[in-house]
Structure 1
């Protein structure tokens, strides 16, 4: 078993700093932030811990090597020189995927094929196999990523993307990724003792992620990971990580979280998703249109990803909802309001300039996260 590993937590554009903070919160120090990824050195126990706990990362990849490659020969030899046998056993199944940006070696299929051949050669030598490799064992997805002639070789430890928490039984037309929903909550300074509302809840993702954060439940607790099958990570390391998650959960933390939606079908989906997440009746769900929203308490948080009005014919309806939301929340100055939308005139329609805004990508849509801070009691 390797003593130390280099791990890469991949992140959607704009979320890198949040992912880096989460990595540091897990106790890892040497954290390097680049576009789309956060790299850190750790011992092997970080593989289960990062997969279980990182709410806003897309995947956890194990870095096997990084080097310059200007020719296919160089790519082959330098890949073959890496210690693949440390990670991949003789029966390991290891498909190779790839990408290339601004590099001399731009043919991705050729790069994939060369990397595959180099790993096969290395494994046959080190495992003492004369014929072909069976590849009927555990799964190790290798990636060759070339950027400006630097080759980065990784193995994916996660399996399905980390946004797949295992609770989504149903979804609406344009579901918000769970990782982005968690980021929206973490970009507020909401604490679990404060009311939390999403008036456009869709399939309930923001409210569910808020409840998981509120009770400190590890987002990966309900799913499996590719690296659970890897024999060089002792079972005890996984058992300890799951036990740590169980010990840190605050199941008795009371929460006041409500999700509203105009569509009764979305409310039913939200209820089913919350049940699947193990949150039972912790979140209130109610069919309601935004103009009927009437917050009862003070100092609450409204966090939402409303419709953007991107389709022809929807824009006026969406703008009316923004206007209604703005006029309602004007009567509740102690509330903090956080809205993600691609609508460039949102502030004007809402009727107030945001205290702060942050560029984020919802899938491929460029959006702004408008943050209106509530007035704090003196």
Structure 2
């Protein structure tokens, strides 16, 4: 895919620590000029690429489209140039707008609140948009980065975070976001052609995501996006992307268990809404009774509790030790992937972990992805 005169920068955000895995996905999907940067991946393209990224990529948290930039050395200049900015080229009338601003020390405009006030007033008075009271109630979010006195404007084309696929309505404690689950599976070398087992499955996120990957199901097929409220939106072109997407048949099966009977019910309901309940199997089973399914070997993927999140750390060493014992005793020939915030807990499994990558920001914590080779 090559750049065109209508190309612009598109930023795919992700929690810090996941940039390399997201870059791997973006390159595999054929996007142009993909480059990892802090907190995400940048690509270049047009609105078709924005729509395709939102609809099909499994890893990004948000898709931001650069809509313009200008220089501003003080608030009066920011106000004047914001009023001249062609908001109507991006925004459609009748939708509420909210601005978020990030400033840095290199810029003479350093007060984010004052910058937000000027930008929102310009949008309201020059374009006529209603300003929302918060980002959670806004139809469209404009993100401004003031970097070295350069005001870079982007529009959030996703709306709700892309982890909200549209089918997970019931969750247990501390759920794994679908976007992180997809990138963690990628980090374990999962390509959709093998079974996946999660003996601490909670509401089923890893398994549902793995089953969707196996069937090549479009990540954003069941939800709406903020880009539908922008001038550039072409409903027929977006529908053409959906219609052209090819699902595939799979023989892979996915098995989840958890000692909590309630979350097993959640997982079954979520899998049914996602349309993968025929290949996802969930049962209330204690970890100590976990056994590999019949058939080919594959990947065991878990997100166990960790002390800062659920329960006390000292009570978790037995759980991690038991997990390691079950894996070594019964899952020979399988690979293991695990996300946890604590190196000592990971070591308590006595599993042969490969060197870990960068820490990953997750709910105020720093977690790591631990991966083994074939046991």
**Matching residue within 111, 115, 132 for 1:107:** 111
For 1:228-377, what aligned pairs fall within 5 Å after superposition? Answer: 228-245=228-245, 248-250=246-248, 252-296=249-293, 297=295, 299-310=297-308, 314-331=312-329, 332-358=331-357, 359-375=359-375
Give, in whole Å, the separation in 2 of the partners of 1:19 and 1:348: 27
Give, in whole Å, the separation in 2 of the partners of 1:189 and 1:223: 28
**Matching residue within 82, 87, 90 for 1:84:** 87
TM-score normalised by structure 2 residue count = 0.88
Shift of 1:169: 1.4
| C-alpha contact 1:72 1:114 (8 A) present in aligned 2 | yes
State the SS of the aligned residue for 2:97: coil
| C-alpha contact 1:298 1:334 (8 A) present in aligned 2 | no
Q: Does 1:30 align with 2:36?
A: no
Note closer, same or farther for the CA distance 1:265–1:277 as it changes in structure 2 (3 Å cut): same
Shift of 1:75: 2.4
Structure 1: runs of 5 or more not aligned: 124-131
Note closer, same or farther for the CA distance 1:88–1:281 as it changes in structure 2 (3 Å cut): same
Shift of 1:217: 0.6
State the SS of the aligned residue for 1:357: coil
Structure 2: runs of 5 or more not aligned: 133-137
Question: Partner of 1:126 in structure 2?
Answer: none
For 1:133-148, what aligned pairs fall within 5 Å after superposition? Answer: 139-147=139-147
Note closer, same or farther for the CA distance 1:313–1:178 as it changes in structure 2 (3 Å cut): closer
Give, in whole Å, the separation in 2 of the partners of 1:20 and 1:79: 33
What does the per-residue CA deviation read over 1:228-286, in whole Å, with 9 as the maximum and x for residues that have no partner?
A: 233432222111111123xx112x31221111111000100001111111212220001
| C-alpha contact 1:195 1:300 (8 A) present in aligned 2 | yes
What does the per-residue CA deviation read over 1:91-138, in whole Å, with 9 as the maximum and x for residues that have no partner?
A: 453222233343543322211111123345654xxxxxxxx55789x9
| C-alpha contact 1:64 1:82 (8 A) present in aligned 2 | no
Shift of 1:318: 1.9
Instruction: Kindly tell me the number of residue pairs found equivalent between the two proteins.
Output: 362
State the SS of the aligned residue for 1:183: helix
How large is the Cα RMSD of the aligned pairs? Answer: 2.5
TM-score normalised by structure 1 residue count = 0.87
